Structure 1
Amino acid sequence: MPGATSAPTARALDAIESLARAGQTRMRFSDIVSELGLTQATAHAILKTLCDRGWADRDPVDKTFSLGPAAAVVAARIDAARPFTHAARAAAVAVHRDVGYPTSLVERTGDTLVITAIEGGDPDHPAGIPGDRIPYAPPFGVAFAAWDTPEGQRAWIRQAAASDPAVEQRLDSILARTRERGFDIDWTTPALAQHAQLVGTMHGDGLPPRIRRPLERLLAEFATVGYLSDDDPARETQPIVTISAPVFDHRQRVPLIVGVHPLCALTADRIEAIGQCLMRATAAVGSKRSGTV
């Protein structure tokens, strides 16, 4: 939505999301101050307001914080208010049961991708945490960009290839191959993903050429870091992080994707089998939405 944003509102929402990510672990005041980068006065004002309105709960004994009853009221209404997402989550649960690997639901909101659900997985080595935010920019979001509008695809590619025709061509071929296959395969490890997000925040404007050129090359490398071509021998040995397929709405747009996270190397046949399983599940969600069988 165009227009100015509200910084105080953003800080309050950051606090709610932080409490949600903590799950059953109650947060100390100092933890919230540190994680959100707030002053103690600002954090105190936000948390007091959230507690007064029931969005947060403060333990009177150990002084820790967790989500409050108001959040539970909203959570209870989510399935009824967002039936499309509810159906997609049910599909993710079914895929997890069929393939045995952790399965996620990722939604796109503007220029951000948000993990909204994870089914299964090892808590000590999670594929992601609900509430995690990822920039909608290369190498992230291929399964969204592949079926975006031509203008949307160009905007996605330009974020990594503003001045490099070779990278632009490579990204364009990745999107074309993903559409042809019907699902995305991503080898971006969690460590690479962290570095890619960090590099993506860097800009070469105003830097001397000896610094700007290496930075641009690094950006170009990270833009396609999660993709291996069909003839790359590393496909048989490198762990696959995500296999994902789009869910189309009634306008044939992709508001969310369902992803499987093997976190291990797979044969080509196994990759294809998981991809086909995903495509059947996501197609069924789209069919329900459009009223077809």
Structure 2
Amino acid sequence: MKILLQNRDAVNRRHFIPRPETMSDLSNPTGRVLDVIKLLASQPNEDFSLADIAQQTGMSKASAHRVLLTMTAADFLARHPRRRTYSLGMGLLAVGQASLERYRGVEAAKIEMARMSAELGVQCSATALIGRDLIILACDGLPKSHAGFNRVGERRPMIPPMGLCHVAWGRAALVEPYLAFAKQHMRADAYAWLLEALPLIRQRGYAMATASWHRLGSAVVVPAAAQRDSAHWATVCELVAELNRDEIQLAAPGDGDIRQIGQIAAPVFAPDASMAFQLVLSGLPATLTARKLERCIERLLAAAVAVTDQMNGSVPAGRDAVAAR
């Protein structure tokens, strides 16, 4: 295996891939508050002790204690009086509801996801590109395993082969650094196939890959406030270098063993013709047949069109094949 990490500093200089996080990144008090919110939001059903929060955000206990007191006083956090643990507070509920009022497409997506989950027996999720991460906004259906990308708030860095829908319909500011990272770290044949796959995804209106790339997906899933250091990125780049053709994109639904398909993703567009988020089907059954796969694809594309319509979304110009889904 050829590990393409000849110049780690070059990786860190690319704005697409963040530098390893250090304590200096946490010196901003506002950033500390945001880190706490992101951590708790990534595991909304869990309670965290002061020590847990300090460790996972990189703060000292003294700093974390001050932040938690302030957030608890504002009802952004709730503190359990006996266990002395912290969870999301009612104050954030109003913030979340206000955000949903502005981004109604997420609520529309949740309705469609519930329907697909019930009809198809799969897990459905909505993931958005926020900053440099893919983040789960909503999900429905039980995951088929505890590995990977299953819970609201979980995030993955936007690196190959993840987020190909965003790249296929993305603008230069997103596409260029994504492809630069891919060219540096992927094998030449894999990179060539990645370039071929992007127009294919646009033409058919969805992305689809095998489940075997989940070893990479599991490696990069981190709690919302967890740090990514040089060792983390070294592991990620090694796994990217091992990607094969089918882990990047399946050329056709009938390619290979369809029971190995890991996920299918379709874009939802915003009013300005940018991609708002993607709807993803995962956890497809081991008994998947060609006919059932076709049904899953048809249902996913219909749901993506329905949510785009409810958002008054607009398909990007020149993407008539997608608009005609």
TM-score bin (small chain): 0.7 to 0.9
Q: Aligned equivalents of 2:312 and 2:294: distance in 1?
A: 27
**Which of the residues 92, 101, 105 maps onto 1:71?**
92
1:195 and 2:227 correspond = no
1:107 and 2:139 correspond = no
Q: Percent identity, please.
A: 26
Aligned ranges 1:22-41 → 2 under 5 Å: 22-41=43-62
State the AA in 1 paired with 2:269.
F
1:178 and 2:201 correspond = yes
Give the equivalent residue in structure 2 for 1:97.
118
For the Cα contact (< 8 Å) 1:188–1:226, is it kept in 2? no
Instruction: Give CA deviations for 1:21-56 in whole Å, capped at 9, x if unaligned.
Output: 333332222222222232111111111111111111
Give the equivalent residue in structure 2 for 1:209.
none
For the Cα contact (< 8 Å) 1:101–1:121, is it kept in 2? yes
**Structure 2: gaps of 5 or more residues:** 1-24, 222-227, 315-325
Shift of 1:13: 1.4
Mark the CA change 1:287 to 1:200 in structure 2 (over 3 Å): closer, same or farther: farther
SS in 2 for 1:114: strand
Aligned ranges 1:1-12 → 2 under 5 Å: 7-12=28-33
**Which of the residues 300, 305, 320 maps onto 1:278?**
300
**Which of the residues 265, 280, 289 maps onto 2:311?**
289
For the Cα contact (< 8 Å) 2:117–2:124, is it kept in 1? yes
For the Cα contact (< 8 Å) 2:160–2:248, is it kept in 1? no
Mark the CA change 1:201 to 1:288 in structure 2 (over 3 Å): closer, same or farther: same
Mark the CA change 1:272 to 1:161 in structure 2 (over 3 Å): closer, same or farther: same
Give the equivalent residue in structure 2 for 1:168.
191
Mark the CA change 1:7 to 1:123 in structure 2 (over 3 Å): closer, same or farther: farther
Q: Aligned equivalents of 1:73 and 1:112: distance in 2?
A: 25
Q: Aligned equivalents of 1:147 and 1:248: distance in 2?
A: 10
**Which of the residues 103, 106, 114 maps onto 1:85?**
106
1:252 and 2:284 correspond = no
For the Cα contact (< 8 Å) 2:208–2:264, is it kept in 1? yes
State the AA in 2 paired with 1:93.
A
Mark the CA change 1:51 to 1:184 in structure 2 (over 3 Å): closer, same or farther: same
Give TM-score scaled by structure 1 length. Answer: 0.81
Instruction: Give CA deviations for 1:238-262 in whole Å, capped at 9, x if unaligned.
Output: 2x32211100122222120111112
